[in-house]
Chains A and B, each alone.
Chain A
Amino acid sequence: MNSPSHLLVSTRKGLFVLTRGAHAWQVERTAFLGDKVTLTGVDRRDGSWYAALDLGHFGCKLHRSTDQGRSWTELAVPAYGPDDVVAVGDGKPDAPATLKLIWAFAHGGEGEPGRLWLGTLPGGLFRSDDHGASWRLMRGLWDRPERKEWFGGGYDTPGIHSICVDPRDARRLLIAVSTAGVWRTDDGGETWSICAKGMRAEYMPPERAYDEIAQDVHQMVQCAAAPEHLWVQHHNGIFRSTDGARSWQEIENVAPSVFGFAVAVHPTDPHRAWFVPAIKDQFRIPVDAQLVVTRTRDGGQTFDQLRHGLPQHHCYDLIYRHGLAIDATGERLAIGSTTGGLWISEDQGDTWAALDARLPPVHAVGWG
């Protein structure tokens, strides 16, 4: 497979499109300069890009480009209905449901032209079958009574931040929620069941530690070539499934920390995964102020600490959940930080090179 030719960096002040020059990666062009781009998704079926904006005053917007970011067209955004209410399980009062953030993007299968998925705050999953011209709330998930037990992790409301479409059968999806574990559909989003068995929430009262709905998954990824293999970075640590999310195993004692937000899995080797650890909860800074990427190549039995090219002195960069991405070849990785740092590796993380630029805070990185 050819290497993707663009790195899409969504930031607090616009979208930065990077390409590989003769000697280094560089900013080739920008879009939405000055506006908050929270996520940029790529539809690999037709090469189009989708940029999610959060305009603050004027709400969340979605734009599409079919010419690799040179021009953009505004699309519809998901909308909640007049009777939809956000009820949460941590004691906050009910409130009318309105779109707060577009938090996850995925496209449908080869046999589903125009199908797109968006995960949102306050917790709705939306599907489009017309390239984003219209959106439908997946009521089979939204109307489940357990949704009223979901709660926000880092936000006032719950949100869907991870969507994994099974490459073998695109009607099968796994989504992850902060905070409500992992959910599965086998029928294109109509019916759902929870599948977070084995996850452990140390932050909950002890009797609810293994409650599937109380699991704060920070991010979930699926191996493209071995979709039964999934990796999760959880508020509480690292979890792995080898049976399509039917069960999860916790991987403990990973130095320097099992806390973090981001995870990536190799596209063809399900035993290889990457994480970016931090000090948990109220700190959320790199351990010892040294930026480290951890990597396993044996399914989580051992981990490497990758530091070459990453700052090792007074570094306070945090890599948030969409701030780590691996390309389709499995060779290139990128990390972008909440303080605007950006590093790229072209050897699976062994060495890293910083982008020669000072970017705004990075919300997401992705390969296009």
Chain B
Amino acid sequence: MPRVVLASALSRWLPAYAAGAPREAAFDIDATDLHGLLDALFARHPNLRGYVLDEQGVVRHHVAIFVDGQAIRDKANLRQPLAASSEVYVMQALSGG
């Protein structure tokens, strides 16, 4: 099952992770593409959607998503397939300061 890891800068906005020291959050999610994985993640944590995507459904300018070590190429098209062993990292892009 693919795994998604949220950087601590992002996970600290999840109510369950707000207390204590900042730490990564990891979730195993049954999905066959990135769009499905993120949708399932946002269903579990509804406030997270607005942190990762803007209201037009595009990955925010200063958010980076890596799938199996490669940054996604098109922030507006998330229909990228995932393998059962895929690891997805969602993090703040360094361009954002």
Q: Which residues of A come within 8 Å of B, CB atoms?
A: 55-59, 61, 74, 77, 79-82, 96, 98-99
Shortest Cβ distance from residue B6 to the other chain A in the assembled complex, whole angstroms: 11
Q: Which of A57, A61, A77, A82 contacts B56 (CB 8 A)?
A: A82
Residue contact B96 to A59, C-beta cutoff 8 Å:
no
Residue of B nearest to A77 (CB): B50
**CA–CA, A56 and B96, complex, Å:** 7
**CA–CA, A58 and B97, complex, Å:** 12
Residue contact B56 to A96, C-beta cutoff 8 Å:
yes
Residue contact B92 to A57, C-beta cutoff 8 Å:
yes
* B75 close to A (CB within 8 Å): no
Q: Which of A57, A80, A99 contacts B93 (CB 8 A)?
A: A57
Residue contact B56 to A59, C-beta cutoff 8 Å:
no
Scoring A59, A61, A81, A98 by chain B CB atoms within 10 A of each residue's CB, the highest score goes to A59
Residue contact B55 to A58, C-beta cutoff 8 Å:
no
Shortest Cβ distance from residue B8 to the other chain A in the assembled complex, whole angstroms: 12
* B27 close to A (CB within 8 Å): no
Shortest Cβ distance from residue A84 to the other chain B in the assembled complex, whole angstroms: 9
Interface class of chain A by DSSP:
loop
Chain B residues with Cβ below 8 Å from A58 are 9-10, 13, 50-52, 60, 63, 92
Q: Report 25 cross-chain contacts, Cβ distance below 8 Å, ordered by A residue.
A: A55-B51, A56-B62, A56-B96, A56-B97, A57-B9, A57-B60, A57-B63, A57-B93, A58-B10, A58-B50, A58-B52, A58-B60, A58-B92, A59-B51, A61-B50, A74-B13, A79-B55, A80-B56, A81-B55, A82-B56, A96-B56, A96-B58, A98-B56, A98-B58, A99-B55
**CA–CA, A188 and B96, complex, Å:** 38
* B80 close to A (CB within 8 Å): no
Known interface pairs A79-B55, A80-B56, A99-B55; 8 further A-B residue pairs with C-beta atoms within 8 A, sorted by A's residue number: A57-B9, A57-B62, A57-B93, A58-B9, A59-B51, A74-B13, A98-B54, A98-B56
Shortest Cβ distance from residue A136 to the other chain B in the assembled complex, whole angstroms: 13
Residue of B nearest to A79 (CB): B55
Chain B residues with Cβ below 8 Å from A98 are 54-56, 58
A-contact 0/1 string along B70-97, CB 8 Å cutoff: 0000000000000000000000110011
Residue of B nearest to A60 (CB): B50
Chain A residues with Cβ below 8 Å from B60 are 57-59
A-contact 0/1 string along B8-31, CB 8 Å cutoff: 011001000000000000000000
| Given contacts A58-B10, A98-B56, A74 and B92 within 8 Å (CB-CB) | no
Residue of A nearest to B15 (CB): A74
A-contact 0/1 string along B33-57, CB 8 Å cutoff: 0000000000000010011101111
Scoring B9, B13, B55, B56 by chain A CB atoms within 10 A of each residue's CB, the highest score goes to B55
Chain A residues with Cβ below 8 Å from B62 are 56-57
Instruction: Identify the 7 closest CB pairs spanning chains A and B, nearest first.
Output: A79-B55, A57-B92, A58-B51, A57-B62, A57-B96, A98-B54, A56-B96
